Structure 1
């Protein structure tokens, strides 16, 4: 059962959609007119790629929001920036002011760590998303785009592909998956209560790019990953399980999907992933290793114990999600958006592994800042 998180209407919170500046704007978003887009969570993996993409669009004005503002350099240079923690009590008031006059809000804000602090993750991911949605409604924004995930889906097939209509109850053992499902339930309520608001959900697979190497290592890898061997492109032994079939996509291709959504008159959800599917055989070929069959319960048990000991940051829920998440069909994105990935999944994987081995990142961005990752022990106690 997915917990319902109420979305108060503007009338119930003291605002009115009929007052000055509160009416949903009907001006179409398209090539012929300038577009003002506010990106919440603009300094992370997807946000950085989206900023790079939007900088090539002369008719798009991007405004960045992040908990920790970046340095004024690289893809973050020359933008209007606001430092806002979406989980804080002052966030609703501040976000309404920032959103005022925007054509679209893209919500990418999400917290992966500290995984041992469930309350903090819920505060940012679920309550923070609710705050963003409420502020967009009160500011009269015409388009709301939410970064969802394959994790929103209920367990599904590993040898077939599901469409966007697949059941969205998540994987119960994964807090990440539960939170994604809860956020989409909130969007369902908003769409029902505010039919003039254009709501779009992007559901990607694993998102890879070189600049995210340090961040992904910090969030998922831990000190047990053989970084020295990765530099050589070699992992001698790889766990193999029939459920370990996952989809990935390059961050730049995800950014292209966001831009196409902003430019098109579309609603609803879009699966975003590249071929081929990443499975143990593919990984073994790529890293010149030997696949070792491991049952699912052993993978989950090893993750649970090492996470409890704070040796690495991935809890049992992430393994369960990897084993149970379905493969996604991306036909809707191709047909309605004209979206097709320019980078295949194996090339995207190579790029992020190189970034992990080289501790690559963006020095201007706090989430992507390169350097030596802290140990699993410290990661469990401090916010990365």
Structure 2
């Protein structure tokens, strides 16, 4: 197949490239659409790269070029920062997806695999697990969640008017891997603080009600390949077991869990966010506590998907990667160095608010 992958140099994209290149029996042509091209080393070397920002006014030209002759497109590209520029994030996530669907449909692409998220789901009113039929209205306080929900509506509309592409929606929990450690740490720890603080955290202040689902990036990549091979439509929840709670997070970080009510935690994160001390939008706290736990039965039965990495092992791998400064030669997953972060902070501002090129 000729497969076009948007966001091919990111967290899931890197894992997907590894997965596609791991099977010598398959001879796929892979086109990567990225804003910043990675260095030509594995797994980024056997890829035809197209440079494009989905938020740009002329992205249609680049997409038409990339999608010519494509059999399938895997849409992974998404904007997380600058978190304070929600207009830009919406241009990437919502408008960019709309342009991609238009271009793929016009090019006669037969299959679209869209990376949605647990964040697209409406807040839970049940303690049980929800299937893919659960409403996808998002968590209103977080721009990321609102945009993921809006794209679900966009795809509903496309399916409703009988679009020519088969559309697969994958809704994973938090996607983790060692290679993404430096990237994820940039969002969770201010750039002026060294990564060794991950090993020096004495306590972890969290509400005991926290329950999150995670999945390893390699297992998400496996689900994507299965969806491509089977050309199946509809939505699929992706998460590994067990569900991670406060105790599990504390154990991975080798810290002592400290009870802190959700409202207090959110107030602290909100105050420091507004003081521009870090890049973590307080809406992420709402997402962590409000999204439902997902039932993954459909992915297991219809895709034959079975995650190889447990949730605890995926979390442990990520934490070790953070301590080691794990990274790749992709600009998205690059090394996190305090000197570089301080220099960039002086030149262009914090990651949550700086101007984009």
Question: How many corresponding residue pairs?
Answer: 347
- Tell me, in whole angstroms, the C-alpha distance in 2 between the residues paired with 1:219 and 1:306: 14
TM-score (norm 2): 0.92
Q: For the Cα contact (< 8 Å) 1:213–1:352, is it kept in 2? A: yes
Deviations 1:335-382 (A, max 9, x none): 00110111001111111112222221102x111111315368622333
Deviations 1:213-263 (A, max 9, x none): 1110112332587732534xx632112314411000110000000000000
CA-CA distance at 1:133 after TM superposition: 1.0
User: Aligned residue for 1:367?
Assistant: 332
Q: State the Cα RMSD in Å.
A: 1.8
Q: For the Cα contact (< 8 Å) 2:252–2:319, is it kept in 1? A: no
User: Aligned residue for 2:353?
Assistant: 381
- Tell me, in whole angstroms, the C-alpha distance in 2 between the residues paired with 1:219 and 1:307: 12
CA-CA distance at 1:195 after TM superposition: 4.3
> Which residue of 234, 242, 255 corresponds with 1:268?
234
User: Aligned residue for 1:49?
Assistant: 15
Q: For the Cα contact (< 8 Å) 1:361–1:369, is it kept in 2? A: yes
User: Aligned residue for 2:275?
Assistant: 309
Give unmatched runs, 5+ long, in structure 1: 1-34
User: Aligned residue for 1:100?
Assistant: 68
Is the counterpart of residue 91 in structure 1 residue 51 in structure 2? Answer: no
Listed as ranges, the matches of 1:193-272 within 5 Å are 193-223=161-191, 227-231=195-199, 235-272=201-238
CA-CA distance at 1:56 after TM superposition: 2.0
User: Aligned residue for 2:304?
Assistant: 338
- Tell me, in whole angstroms, the C-alpha distance in 1 between the residues paired with 2:230 and 2:355: 37
- Compared with structure 1, are the counterparts of its residues 223 and 90 closer, same or farther at alpha carbon in structure 2 (3 Å cutoff)? closer
Q: Which stretch shifts more, 218-227 or 323-332?
A: 218-227
Large movers: runs of 4+ above 4 Å? 223-226
- Tell me, in whole angstroms, the C-alpha distance in 2 between the residues paired with 1:276 and 1:225: 31
Q: For the Cα contact (< 8 Å) 2:183–2:336, is it kept in 1? A: no
Is the counterpart of residue 168 in structure 1 residue 143 in structure 2? Answer: no
Q: Which stretch shifts more, 192-201 or 105-114?
A: 192-201
- Compared with structure 1, are the counterparts of its residues 144 and 279 closer, same or farther at alpha carbon in structure 2 (3 Å cutoff)? same
- Tell me, in whole angstroms, the C-alpha distance in 1 between the residues paired with 2:39 and 2:252: 36
Is the counterpart of residue 353 in structure 1 residue 319 in structure 2? Answer: yes
- Tell me, in whole angstroms, the C-alpha distance in 1 between the residues paired with 2:89 and 2:168: 23
- Compared with structure 1, are the counterparts of its residues 383 and 353 closer, same or farther at alpha carbon in structure 2 (3 Å cutoff)? farther
- Tell me, in whole angstroms, the C-alpha distance in 1 between the residues paired with 2:236 and 2:187: 25
- Tell me, in whole angstroms, the C-alpha distance in 2 between the residues paired with 1:98 and 1:288: 46
CA-CA distance at 1:300 after TM superposition: 1.3
Q: For the Cα contact (< 8 Å) 2:50–2:62, is it kept in 1? A: no
Q: For the Cα contact (< 8 Å) 1:113–1:383, is it kept in 2? A: no
Listed as ranges, the matches of 1:138-177 within 5 Å are 138-156=106-124, 159-177=127-145
- Compared with structure 1, are the counterparts of its residues 113 and 383 closer, same or farther at alpha carbon in structure 2 (3 Å cutoff)? farther
Q: For the Cα contact (< 8 Å) 2:118–2:171, is it kept in 1? A: yes
> Which residue of 283, 287, 291 corresponds with 1:325?
291
User: Secondary structure of 1:276's partner?
Assistant: coil
- Tell me, in whole angstroms, the C-alpha distance in 2 between the residues paired with 1:320 and 1:72: 39
